[in-house]
């Protein structure tokens, strides 16, 4: 059975701590539903763009957004198809998560991995290869030097290696591992086995993401770790290959620590970005504790709360600074809502009123 070998280093511990702290803020931020939808849409766009760009797709982020919005772009059919396919993969991940739910009772299956590959390569690979394990040897070459940088296991071993990995994913041991660490292990092992003739990188990241989600670690689907990998693709591939090319007698003796340090650092950086963005537009997370529930605020209400957190008080004359395009009556309605929710209080009369955080 597959048993990953790695060491929990100080670097891994530090970044897991950053991940947990960021997750706590994101999961408890009292965001308005419209903002949640916006964040998720942006995360999907980033995941699809960077996830395909990492594999050589030349389309820009704007072109990817246009394709996802149903607009036509001038590009190769294959490049456009890769974008559509990866969107379908993310939809499939959502459907699986909804169907199975987030619990320790789930069973990940080989069929799920094959379906992810089929969706990834639809209309790109032939029906003999799409959604099926490779039946021939492949090698990974340096595109500039044409030198072989990594030789994956023989095709005959692929079904058994994947079965071992899936059994490990569903094992009691794996269920005890932190979801981000587990996702990094899964990503590495699929990339190492290279079970398909094409699309291995996208499948490895998609499966890692799905298992993280099934382990109750979807973090509101606000993040995309593909963006971190795509910022320096050479480091991404070299880190993977450095582990895979370790000279060991048994493949299970490979030390995954360098890869896991890199992977978890990437997740920490991306989640920290999201946390900072959430904090900029969200009410102080302590509001939820005070009121016993999340308070859903619109953009104007968030802007008012941000102003009060920064400047401590607000008067009617400040309305024009924050909302030059809205009438005083509109802003006063927002103030009334915040006052009714117990978030702010009013001092003084109407014309010379001062508003402060409660």
Contact partners, residue 160, CB within 8 Å, separation at least 6: none
Decide if 50 is catalytic: no
Tokens of 308: 């009060």
Dist. CA 267–CA 273, nearest whole Å? 10
Q: Which residues are annotated as a binding site?
A: 198-205
Q: Which residues are annotated as a binding site for ATP?
A: 198-205
Contact partners, residue 44, CB within 8 Å, separation at least 6: 68, 87, 90, 221, 224
Catalytic residue among 49, 53, 117, 194: 194
Dist. CA 5–CA 254, nearest whole Å? 7
Q: Say if CB 322 and CB 307 are below 8 A apart.
A: yes
Q: Say if CB 14 and CB 8 are below 8 A apart.
A: no
Which residues are annotated as catalytic? 194
């Amino acid at each position: 059975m597959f048993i990953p070998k790695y060491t929990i280093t100080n670097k891994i511990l530090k970044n897991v701590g950053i991940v947990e702290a960021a997750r706590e803020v994101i999961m408890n931020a009292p965001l308005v539903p419209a903002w949640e939808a916006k964040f998720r849409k942006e995360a999907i766009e980033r995941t699809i763009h960077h996830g395909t760009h990492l594999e050589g797709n030349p389309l820009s982020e704007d072109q990817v957004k246009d394709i996802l919005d149903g607009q036509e772009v001038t590009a190769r059919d294959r490049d456009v198809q890769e974008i559509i396919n990866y969107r379908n993969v993310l939809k499939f991940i959502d459907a699986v998560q909804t169907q199975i739910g987030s619990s320790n009772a789930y069973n990940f299956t080989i069929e799920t991995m094959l379906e992810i590959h089929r969706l990834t390569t639809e209309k790109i690979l032939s029906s003999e290869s799409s959604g099926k394990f490779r039946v021939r040897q492949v090698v990974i070459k340096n595109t500039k030097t044409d030198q072989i940088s990594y030789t994956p296991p023989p095709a005959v071993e692929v079904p058994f290696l994947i079965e071992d990995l899936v059994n490990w994913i569903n094992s009691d041991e794996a269920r005890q591992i932190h979801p981000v660490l587990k996702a990094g292990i899964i990503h590495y092992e699929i990339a190492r086995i290279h079970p398909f003739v094409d699309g291995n990188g996208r499948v490895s990241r998609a499966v890692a993401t799905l298992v993280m989600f099934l382990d109750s670690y979807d973090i509101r689907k606000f993040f995309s770790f593909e963006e971190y990998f795509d910022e320096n693709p050479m480091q991404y591939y070299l880190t993977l290959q450095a582990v895979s090319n370790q000279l060991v007698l048994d493949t299970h003796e490979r030390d995954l620590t360098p890869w896991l340090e890199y992977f978890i650092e990437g997740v920490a950086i991306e989640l920290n970005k999201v946390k900072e963005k959430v904090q900029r537009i969200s009410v102080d997370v302590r509001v939820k504790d005070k009121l016993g529930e999340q308070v859903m605020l619109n953009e104007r209400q968030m802007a008012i709360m941000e102003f009060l957190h920064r400047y401590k008080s607000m008067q009617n004359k400040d309305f024009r600074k924050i909302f030059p395009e809205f009438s005083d009556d509109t802003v006063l309605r927002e103030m009334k809502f915040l006052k009714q929710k117990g978030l702010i209080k009013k001092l003084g009369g109407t014309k010379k009123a001062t508003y402060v955080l409660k």
